[in-house]
């Protein structure tokens, strides 16, 4: 269902003026994302004409951009990804763990997204795997699904990693050890190791000359200035959040569906757009209860700016798997875990599925089957406008 207001509407109305005002300051990736969102589900990408085989109702359906930053296109991508992940779920409790960068480090990440985001993934995953493997804690190899978010609820730059971790793991001799029902690993220990690993490698990157800074932060290119900048976070506690297990595997999938393919803001959070200002819902985490849900209004230019700062570097993977769920060992590790848990193994070849449902949504008039009767290329229109007259059998099945 199309929302009343979409991010695409804001980009189409205010995007051209934003390009002119910021000419020379927008990256090629940002320009491509803007163009993709603006063209999504319009004649610019072509489409097809659908007709109901029962009542003859016809409608035009335009193609989607399929850009991973487009809020409207990510719903289908998330559903497809989740279907593929169902086979990886184990019948145990799953914990939600979040690793967040302090503000001083987040500022560095803003200028070096590919390097710092990758370092965030590596430091957080190594922290979890190291502490979990320590005999003082679990003494096992765990599995991790990690998802990068670079935004807060108000679309500000707030890089953090969401992890979904099964409550237990495999020992070196192949036994399954479960965690305590509501406790996975000590968060203070996780935070201390995460801080040490991240800062050590961050300094290595700076010493190797791989970090760059611009504008007000250009002075951080100097080694001593950089050391002074990160000095406060060396003594600061890095908070790692861990939530009690979900209700079950189904709840894990429901949760992942909200996090894996989310982009800076979803269309459902938009309230109003008058051509100049955008109003949307957000969560103020400094408040609790009913006061947490609040409303914010931004100028369209500021809204677009906040959206564009979350464009990922080209080729960057925002969903990664570690430990038992790492690609090279996932199949064998999951089979071993299921054997230890007494669960029937997943067949290598699933049984033949039933006939795939028609990709076209049902007819809004009678609920009948919609069939594609014509396709047209980008910037083109159908040979004739949609009509309510029932199409003939020859028209529906025209091989041309």
Burial of 172 (0-12, 13-18, 19+ CB in 10 A): exposed
Domain-located, residue 117: yes
Residue closest to 325 by CA, chosen among 316, 337, 309, 342: 337
Domain-located, residue 49: no
Domain count of the fold of the chain: 1
Domain-located, residue 335: yes
Domain-located, residue 322: yes
Q: Which domain holds residue 91?
A: 77-264+310-341
Domain-located, residue 149: yes
The side-by-side arrangement of strands in the sheet containing 94-100 is 240-243, 94-100, 157-166, 143-151, 319-323
The DSSP symbol for 241 reads: E
Residue closest to 113 by CA, chosen among 176, 159, 47, 67: 159
Whole-number pLDDT of residue 347: 63
Whole-number pLDDT of residue 346: 63
Distances 67 to 21, 34, 63, 70, 146 between C-alpha atoms, Å: 24, 10, 12, 5, 21
Domain-located, residue 222: yes
Domain-located, residue 240: yes
Domain-located, residue 289: no
Sign of CA dihedral 284, 159, 112, 263: negative
The reported pTM is: 0.86
Whole-number pLDDT of residue 355: 40
Question: Cβ of 210: how many Cβ atoms within 10 Å?
Answer: 10
Whole-number pLDDT of residue 400: 35
The DSSP symbol for 54 reads: T
At 34 the three-state DSSP class reads helix
Q: State the pairing for strand pair 176-178/58-62.
A: unpaired
Question: Cβ of 7: how many Cβ atoms within 10 Å?
Answer: 28
Whole-number pLDDT of residue 348: 59
Mean pLDDT, each 10-residue run in order, the chain (400 residues): 82 96 93 95 90 88 90 78 79 91 93 96 97 94 93 93 92 91 92 97 96 92 94 92 78 72 86 94 86 93 96 92 89 89 67 49 86 87 61 41
């Amino acid at each position: 269902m199309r929302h009343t207001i979409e991010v695409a509407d804001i980009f189409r109305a205010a995007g051209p003026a934003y390009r002119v005002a910021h000419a020379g300051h927008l990256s090629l990736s940002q320009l491509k994302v803007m163009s993709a969102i603006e063209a999504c589900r319009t004649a610019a990408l072509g489409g097809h004409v659908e007709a109901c085989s029962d009542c003859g109702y016809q409608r035009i359906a335009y193609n989607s951009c399929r850009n991973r930053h487009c809020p409207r296109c990510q719903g289908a991508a998330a559903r497809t990804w989740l279907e593929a992940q169902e086979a990886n779920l184990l019948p145990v409790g799953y914990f939600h763990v979040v690793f967040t960068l302090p503000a001083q480090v987040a500022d560095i990440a803003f200028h070096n997204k590919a390097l710092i985001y990758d370092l965030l993934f590596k430091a957080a995953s190594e922290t979890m795997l190291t502490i979990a493997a320590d005999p003082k804690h679990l003494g096992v190899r765990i599995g991790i699904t990690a998802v990068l978010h670079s935004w807060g609820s108000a679309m500000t730059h707030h890089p953090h990693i969401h992890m979904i971790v099964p409550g237990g793991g495999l020992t070196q001799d192949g036994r399954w050890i479960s965690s305590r029902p509501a406790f996975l690993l000590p968060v203070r220990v996780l935070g201390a190791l995460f801080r040490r690993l991240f800062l050590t490698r961050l300094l290595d990157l700076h010493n190797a000359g791989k970090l760059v800074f611009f504008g007000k932060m250009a002075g951080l290119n100097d080694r001593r200035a950089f050391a002074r900048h990160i000095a406060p976070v060396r003594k600061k506690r890095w908070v790692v959040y861990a939530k009690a297990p979900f209700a079950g595997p189904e709840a894990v999938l429901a949760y992942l569906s909200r996090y894996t393919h989310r982009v800076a803001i979803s269309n459902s959070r938009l309230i109003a757009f008058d051509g100049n200002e955008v109003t949307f819902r957000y969560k103020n985490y400094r408040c609790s209860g009913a006061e947490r849900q609040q409303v914010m209004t931004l100028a369209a230019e500021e809204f677009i700016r906040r959206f564009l700062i979350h464009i990922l570097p080209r080729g960057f993977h925002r969903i990664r798997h570690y430990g038992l769920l790492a690609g090279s060992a996932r199949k064998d590790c999951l089979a071993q875990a299921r054997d230890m848990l007494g669960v029937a193994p997943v067949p290598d070849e699933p049984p033949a599925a039933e006939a795939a449902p028609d990709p076209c949504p049902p007819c809004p008039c009678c609920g009948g089957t919609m069939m594609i009767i014509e396709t047209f290329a980008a910037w083109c229109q159908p040979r004739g406008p949609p009509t309510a007259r029932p199409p003939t059998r020859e028209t529906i099945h025209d091989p041309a």
